[in-house]
Amino acid sequence: MNTKEIIKYLEDLKKKMPDLIIKDINVGVFKHVYIITNEAVSSGDKVNDFILKHFSGLSIVGSTPLKNLKRDVEDNIPSINFKNVSDRDSLLELLFSGFTIIIYKNEVIAYETRAELDRGVTEPTGEPVIRGPKDSFTENYNKNIGLIRKRIKSEHLCLEELTIGKQTKNKVGIMYMENICEEDIVNQMKDYLGKINIDGVMDVNNFKSFINKENHTLFPTLLYTEKPDDTCRFLLDGRIAVTMENSPSVLIAPTFFVDFFHSSEDYYHKPFFSSFIRLIRFIAYFLAIITPALFIAIITYDQEVLPVSLLINFTVQRSQVPFPAIVEAFILMFTFELLYEGDARTPSTRGTSLSILGALILGDAAVQAGLISPIMVIVVAISAISNLVFIYYDIQGSIRFWRYVLMILSALFGMVGFMCGFILLIINLCTIKTFGKPYLIPLAPFILKDQSNALLRRDLTKINKRPSYLAKKNVVKEVNVK
């Protein structure tokens, strides 16, 4: 590469990019070393301390001329990371990644002086923790990998890197345990990511639209997590983790239906308690979907299920409301959706007025105005509270959609419509396949051996095998319990 051409190009670039610094140092007669850096992404201290100090120390008179830049830099400037640059594209890429470019006599090397532009390791904001480690991933790629590596100190933890995004050129890392994970999954993930051809990705969650596209479903097939201890648990099970620069979450693949009912805290409590909590989550999921539909079917088509006193009570309440039951349910559910969305986006300074307004609508005032009946408020509230058990946002999409479908079908056909809607939901769940494995495993292709960690949790000393549907290579854990 011609030094003069590059310098001329960079001088042109400087007109639209004032944060580009081009420094010219004399090291000998008519010999110039050019130091180029972008002051926004590189750390000025490092540039000053190491590079400029060294080159400024090489005075014009009385020193040996610089024969080989690379050798000189290698011997004299302490650094772990420097790269050879061979073309203009990689030069620009490295420049914007925080590297300092040193040019001398057609030879170009890049030296790492990255600035710390992230917020440090803090507590997880989206997944609150009661017991267990409280660190979370940050936007720094190396720190994320570091948080994982310090927990799995094994030589089998592999990392494969890709670059995705034409303009953003983000580094993407795929981590997996090579002695546990199947190669098919890794190859398939590399296939998916290799086919991505877009301008830029901002976060690792953008990949969800590209992976597992062939399933027509609302159920989430990928899990994202902010916590390193969860990630390491998944890696040891035989899954892969996809991490990306500038993204504080990590994608886990493949994920199954039962994983959305687990949380890492289950392993930090006693097994009986954890099984109980998991069962409650499972029941809450189905309560959230079926409660309004079941209620509408019972009070409009199959009223004989209710005892007489309850029937009379409901009739008195519903006689004050002018709408049919389905319309009332829709009004309330829609109000609740508005409340929920508002709550998610509101800063804490405005939270109080939102809760007061919400209480007005969903409370006594609306009942006394004659718009809704108290029993419908309770039914919708039960459904909404069960919805809130799942902090994972993606699974709420499935709950919300199927809730409305079941409500419509049960308003049209009663209990039979409710049953048909439920069958449709189950068939939809059964058709999903992630990375070649069925979504409902180990529940639906019923594997008896894996039930110890599916819905209930057995004692950790008794689980000595990894899930057999994931870790075919290395099923027995290396557990030594006396």
Partner 1 sequence: MNRYKISSLTFSLIFMCMLNSSLLGIIFPYILHESKTSFYISLGISFVVGLFLIFIYLRIFNFMPDKDIFKKIEAIFPKWISKCVSFILMMLVFLLTIIIIWRLVTFISSEFLVETPNLFIGLLIAAPLLYASTTDFDVIGRLATFCLAVAFLLLVFNVVSLFSQVDMNNLKPLLNFDLMHTGKSVLVFTFIVLVPAFLTLVIPKDNVTNSNKVTRSILSIYTLEMISIFLIFFIIVSVLGINIANIYTFPSYAVLKTLSVLSFIQNTENISILVWVLLMTFAGSFCLLFLKSGLKSLFNFDKKKTQLSSLLFIFLPFLGIVLFMLPYEIYLNKFQYVIVPWAINVSIFVILVLIFVIGKIIFKIKKITV
Partner 2 sequence: MKKFLIFICIVFMCTGCWNYKELTELGIISAMAISKRDGNYVIDMQIVNIVEAGDKGVPESPISVMSGEGTTVADAIRSINMKTSKVFFSSNMEYMIIDKSVTNENLKEVLDFLARDTKLSLNFLIVTATNDDPKDVLSALSQFNLNPASNVSELIRRSEGRYGASHSITFKDYLREYLDKGITPVYPNIHLVGSLEEAEDNETLKESDTDDYIEIYNLVAFDKDGNTINIGKDESFGYNFLTNHIKNGSVTSSCGDNHFTVQTLKSKIGFDELKGNKITIKGEVQAEVFFYGCEESLSDTKTLDKLADLTKDTITDYIKKTILLAKESKTDFIGIGNWIYKNETDYFDWDNKDWDTEGLNNIDFDYDIEVSLLKQGNLKGDI
Please say which residue, 216 or 482, places its beta carbon nearer to partner 1. Answer: 216
Task: Name which of 198 and 283 has its Cβ closer to partner 1.
Answer: 283
- Best CA proximity match to 288, nearest among 189, 378, 208, 400: 400
214 binds partner 2 (CB under 8 A): no
* Residues whose CB is less than 8 angstroms from the CB of residue 103 and which lie 6 or more positions away in sequence, other chains included: 3, 6, 7, 33, 34, 36
Q: Is there a cis peptide before residue 254, judged by omega within 30 degrees of 0?
A: yes
Asked if 229 and 136 touch (Cβ cutoff 8 Å), the reply is: no
Number of residues that bind partner 1 (CB under 8 A): 26
308 binds partner 2 (CB under 8 A): yes
**Per CB under 8 A, 217 contacts partner 2:** no
- Options 56, 303, 353, 431; binder of partner 2; rule CB under 8 A: 303
Q: Is residue 326 close enough to count as binding partner 1 by CB under 8 A?
A: no
Q: Which of 75, 155, 199, 304 binds partner 1 (CB under 8 A)?
A: 304
The site partner of 420 among partner 1, partner 2, none (C-beta below 5 to 8 Å per kind) is partner 1
- Shortest reach from residue 422's CB to partner 2, in Å: 16
Q: Does 412 bind partner 2 (CB under 8 A)?
A: yes
Q: How far apart are CA 106 and CA 101, in angstroms?
A: 12
- Token match 């019972």: residue? 298
Nearer to partner 2, 167 or 309 (CB): 309
Question: Binder to partner 1 among 95, 440, 470, 471 (CB under 8 A)?
Answer: 440
Q: Does 199 bind partner 2 (CB under 8 A)?
A: no
**Closer residue to partner 1 (CB): 117 or 412:** 412
Of the pair 240, 409, the CB lying nearest partner 2 is at 409
Residue 430's binding partner among partner 1, partner 2, none (Cβ under 5 to 8 angstroms by kind) is partner 1
- Examine residue 424 and tell whether it contacts partner 1 (CB under 8 A): yes
Q: Nearer to partner 2 by C-beta: 254 or 421?
A: 421
By CB under 8 A, which span of 6-14, 149-157, 196-204, 410-418 interacts with partner 2? 410-418
Check if the beta carbon of residue 114 is closer than 8 Å to that of residue 98.
yes
Q: How many C-beta neighbours within 10 Å does residue 445 have? A: 10
CA pair distance 73, 409, nearest whole angstrom: 74
Pick the binder of partner 2 from 81, 142, 315, 352 (CB under 8 A): 315
- Angle ∠(451,393,242) on CA atoms, nearest 5: 75
Q: How far is the CB of 376 from partner 1 (least distance, A)?
A: 21
Q: Which of 54, 134, 143, 318 binds partner 2 (CB under 8 A)?
A: 318
Q: Is residue 299 a contact residue for partner 2 (CB under 8 A)?
A: yes
Residues near partner 2 (CB under 8 A): 216, 299-301, 303-304, 307-309, 311-312, 314-316, 318-320, 324-325, 411-414
